[in-house]
């Protein structure tokens, strides 16, 4: 039986990703191991030396690094991902509860950032060298330069403390509402599906500021690459040809030039996902958002090894998975790649 080349490529990419992930898990675990590794003393400062030794033995902290890593990996494959000393749960359980919170934030943030960044880049490319282009360039650099944590605080002060336009930043839902029944884990969508429109609306209002802050972080890299790639594709023969045929400007710019610029834009989008997942740590801390970012920050500051290595592994896997999807999407976007003409 002959395996079609595309499938072979996909399988090879998945195999490589798996090996890379194994490497990442080892590095992530060693890193967590580096933490000032006396989680016992930091949690129970008043115990005797014998008690401490006993607890360390129970937790397996007295074993060599390799043994601890092997145990951890065993637990990873069992879906447990080790045990958090802070929450007392298995890390898998903790994450299952927190991943939807982060995903809801990240998905809306990336959508908002893309919806702003790509059109901004397009306009800049079309108006290249004109005042609009220069203005957009400054705006872009400014957006990129404002630290997310400070922007979040300023927005909270103005829009909540002063104007009361947004609700109290207490996380996903204020305590007066109970979360909607689980559908996909996004409170906005779960609420709509369950017909609880007030809950969906309340959840959406909680999302406004964190999504805005997270989304603005995406705007600038996307606008930058869109401007560069569209600038190139607008000069290509097929665009000139399209214009010569009398196609409308709309068709030429949105249909042809944008399509031609899509490969680098999607590549950047893949890179942006990694940024968003890391940026979530900051945004979640500022907005008391109960997601994996804040979980990771808490775990790091309390030397909670299993959650630390799992969170790093999770984000790195998210990045690896995105890169895989990005690579696979090239074939979909660009017929030259699909038919093996290369670029």
Partner 1 sequence: MAMASETVANERMTPAPARQRPAWRAIYAGVFAGDPLGLAGVAMLAILLTVALLGPLLVTHDPILTTPGTLLPPSAEHWFGTDDFGRDVFSRTLVSLRIDFIVAGVGVTGAILIGSLIGLVCGYRGGWLDDTLMRFVDIIQSFPLILVAMVLVLAIGPSVGSIVVVTVLINIPLYARVIRGQTLAVKHLDYVDAARCSGATELGIMIRHVLPNTLNPIAIHASLNLAAAVGNVAVLSFLGIGIRPPTPDLGVMVAEGTRFLVQGAWWMSLFPGLVLSATIFSLNLLGDALESGLDPRRQER
Q: How far is the CB of 22 from partner 1 (least distance, A)?
A: 10
Query: Given the complex with partner 1, which of 192 and 229 has the nearer CB atom?
Result: 229
Question: Pick from 95, 156, 213, 269: which binds partner 1 (CB under 8 A)?
Answer: 156
Assess 219 for contact with partner 1 (CB under 8 A). no
Residue with Cβ nearer partner 1 (96 or 146): 146
Per rule CB under 8 A, is residue 164 in the interface with partner 1? no
> Which alpha helices (H) appear in the chain, and where do they start and end?
5-34, 39-43, 49-59, 65-77, 91-126, 131-145, 148-155, 187-193, 197-233, 237-244, 249-250, 258-260, 262-286, 292-301, 305-333, 335-338
Q: Which DSSP letter does residue 179 get?
A: P
Q: Is 11 in the site for partner 1 (CB under 8 A)?
A: no
Task: Confirm or reject binding of residue 157 to partner 1 (CB under 8 A).
Answer: yes
List the structure tokens of 258: 């944008």
Binding of partner 1 at residue 308 (CB under 8 A)? yes
Closest separation in Å from C-beta 48 to partner 1 = 26
HEC-encoded secondary structure of 3-69? CCHHHHHHHHHHHHHHHHHHHHHHHHHHHHHHCCCCHHHHHCCCCCHHHHHHHHHHHCCCCCHHHHH
- Nearer to partner 1 among residue 10 and residue 35 (C-beta): 35
Query: Rounded CA gap, 98 and 177, in Å?
Result: 18
The residue among 31 and 53 lying less far from partner 1, judged by its C-beta, is 31
Q: Does 145 bind partner 1 (CB under 8 A)?
A: yes
Residues lying near partner 1 in the complex (CB under 8 A): 20, 23-24, 27-28, 31-32, 34-36, 128, 134, 137-138, 141-142, 144-147, 149-150, 153-154, 156-157, 161, 228, 231, 274, 277-279, 281-282, 285, 296-297, 300-301, 303, 308, 311-312, 315-316, 319-320, 323
């Amino acid at each position: 039986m002959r395996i079609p080349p595309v499938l072979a490529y996909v399988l090879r990419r998945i195999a490589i990703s798996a090996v890379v992930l194994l490497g990442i898990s080892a590095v992530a675990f060693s890193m967590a191991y580096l933490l000032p590794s006396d989680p016992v003393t930091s949690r129970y400062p008043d115990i005797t030396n014998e008690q401490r030794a006993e607890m360390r033995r129970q937790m397996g902290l007295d074993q060599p690094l390799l043994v601890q890593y092997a145990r951890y990996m065993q637990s990873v494959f069992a879906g447990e991902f080790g045990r958090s000393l802070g929450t007392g749960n298995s890390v898998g359980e903790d994450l299952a509860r927190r991943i939807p919170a982060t995903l809801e934030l990240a998905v809306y943030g990336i959508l908002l950032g893309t919806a702003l960044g790509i059109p901004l880049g397009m306009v800049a490319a079309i108006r290249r060298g004109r005042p609009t282009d220069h203005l957009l360039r400054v705006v872009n650099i400014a957006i990129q330069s404002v630290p997310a944590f400070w922007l979040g605080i300023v927005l909270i002060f103005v829009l909540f403390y002063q104007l009361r336009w947004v609700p109290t930043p207490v996380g996903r839902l204020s305590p007066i509402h109970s979360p909607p029944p689980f559908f996909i884990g996004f409170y906005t969508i779960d609420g709509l599906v369950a017909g609880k429109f007030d809950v969906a609306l309340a959840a959406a209002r909680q999302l406004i500021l964190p999504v805005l802050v997270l989304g603005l972080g995406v705007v600038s890299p996307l606008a930058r690459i869109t401007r560069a790639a569209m600038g190139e594709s607008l000069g290509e023969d097929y665009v000139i040809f399209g214009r010569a045929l009398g196609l409308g400007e709309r068709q030429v710019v949105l249909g042809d030039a944008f399509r031609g610029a899509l490969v680098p834009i999607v590549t950047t989008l893949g890179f942006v996902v990694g940024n968003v997942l890391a940026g979530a740590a900051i945004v979640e801390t500022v907005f008391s958002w109960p997601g994996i970012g804040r979980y990771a920050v808490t775990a790091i500051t309390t030397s909670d090894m299993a959650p630390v290595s799992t969170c790093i592994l999770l984000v790195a896997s998210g990045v690896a998975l995105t890169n895989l999807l990005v690579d696979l999407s090239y074939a979909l976007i660009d017929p030259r790649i699909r038919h093996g003409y290369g670029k």
